[in-house]
Amino acid sequence: IAAENDIGTDELMTVPGSGKGGRVTKLDILAYLKTRTGIPAEATAASPKLAPPPSLSPSFTGSEARVEMDHMRKLIADHMRTSLDTSAHVYVMTEVDMTSIVDFTESEGNAFFAREGFKLTYTPFIALAVTRALQMIPDMNSSLDGTSIVRNKNINIGLAVAVDQGLLVPVIQRSEELNFLGLCRKVRDLAVRTRDKQISPDELQGSTFTITNFGVFNVTMGTPIINQPNVGIMGIGTVRKRPVVLESESGDSIGIRSIMMLSLGFDHRLIDGAGGARFIEAVQSNIENMELDKLF
C-alpha cells in the first residue's frame, strides 16, 4: 500500500491489516504513518504553506459584541425551543453498575480491535439495553400527533454526536434487527461519518428514541431536551469508580464498583412517572444482567 505524495514507488512497504480477514483499515494506515521516521524531501518541498486562520476575535462596540449565529446553531436553537414548547418534560435518574461491562471491555478489547479494526466502547452495550427496553415498553417508542398516539413498528435509535458547529443526531435504523456486533459497527460508522461531515440528511431523520452521551465530556449527569417527535431521551453520564454497599446472604460489605448515572427525559403528555420509572429500571436491569459471554 502506498499513499500518494507520501510513499514513493521505491518505498513500498507492507502494512499489516487488523480488520476482518486481514483487511487494512484506516487505523492501520494511521498507525503505520506514525512509525515512519521521515517524509521524502520532494514531498516536503511541494507542500503548500497554509494561510493562517481568520481571526475569531469579536468586534466590540463599547462593552459588548454581537455575532450572528451560524445556520446550524439557528436550527438547533429552534428545535430545542420547539421541543420545550411542545413536550411536558419530566426526568428520572438512576445509578447503574457498569462493572461487568467495564471488565468485559478491558478483557476483550484487544481481540475485538484485532478483528474489527476499531475500539470496543460502552455505547453499543447501552444501545442494546435501550433497544430491549423499548421492545418491553412500546409507549416510549411512540410519538404524539395531536391527541393520537403514533405507534412505531421499528426501533430507530438516534445517537447525539458532537461536531464543531453543534450537535447532529444520526439514526440507527431498525436497531431491533441488529445483533451486538451489528450495533458496534453501526455506532462506529455513524459517529465517524458524522464527525467527518459525510453523513447524509436522510440518515439524520426518523429517530423514535434518542441517546445522548455527555459522559464522553467527563460529565456525571444531565437533563437533555427531548428530540422531537420522540417522547423520550436517555442521557449517559461518565463511568466512575465508587465505593458502594454490596448486599449478599452473608451480610453487607463495601466494594469498589464502576458506576454510571442514567437520566431519562420523557414527555409527560404520554408517559406517566410510573412508566418512565419502569423504562429506566428496564434499561438498568438490561445493562447489569447482560449475558456478555453470548454477545459474539
Integer-rounded Cα radius of gyration of the chain: 23
Verify whether residue 268 is a known catalytic residue.
yes
**110/29 Cα distance (integer angstroms):** 18
**26/37 Cα distance (integer angstroms):** 19
Verify whether residue 145 is a known catalytic residue.
no
* Cβ atoms of residues 102 and 239 within 8 Å: yes
Q: Give the count of beta carbons closer than 10 Å to the beta carbon of residue 236.
A: 25
- DSSP for residue 234: E
Q: Which of 28, 89, 97, 268 is catalytic?
A: 268
- DSSP for residue 98: -
Residues near 271 by beta carbon (within 8 Å), at least 6 away in sequence: 90, 139, 140, 231, 232, 279
Q: Which of 78, 139, 272, 293 is catalytic?
A: 272
3-state secondary structure 54-79: CCCCCCCECCECCCCCCHHHHHHHHH
**210/200 Cα distance (integer angstroms):** 18
Residues near 137 by beta carbon (within 8 Å), at least 6 away in sequence: 275, 278, 279, 282
Give the residue numbers annotated as catalytic, written as ranges: 268, 272
